[in-house]
Structure 1
């Protein structure tokens, strides 16, 4: 079994990267999260 390391994402200046409804609007952060999810899915496939 391979552990998934560093699944967390830290968003600097988060107060500026979310809209009034709480949706993440920063494309760079969104891309990082998407890549981490893709890596997690790949790690789960056996």
Structure 2
């Protein structure tokens, strides 16, 4: 099958984040992910 799109991943993360944020700061985990995602998005939009 097709890999999930960025928007699908982000909405999945948002749901997990809403659940997890009560327990600890999820932003620390999200930083490396968002950097690689931004790079991918930039590469795609420049094509």
TM class by smaller structure: 0.5 to 0.7
In structure 2, list runs of 5 or more residues that go unmatched: none
Runs (4 or more) in structure 1 with deviation over 3 Å come to: none
Q: How many residues align?
A: 35
In structure 1, list runs of 5 or more residues that go unmatched: 19-23
TM-score under structure 2 length normalisation: 0.53
TM-score under structure 1 length normalisation: 0.53
Highest CA radius of gyration, 1 or 2? 1
Using the alignment, how far apart are the partners of 1:36 and 1:43 within structure 2? 11
* Structure with more contact order per residue of length (Cα contacts < 8 Å, sep ≥ 6): 1
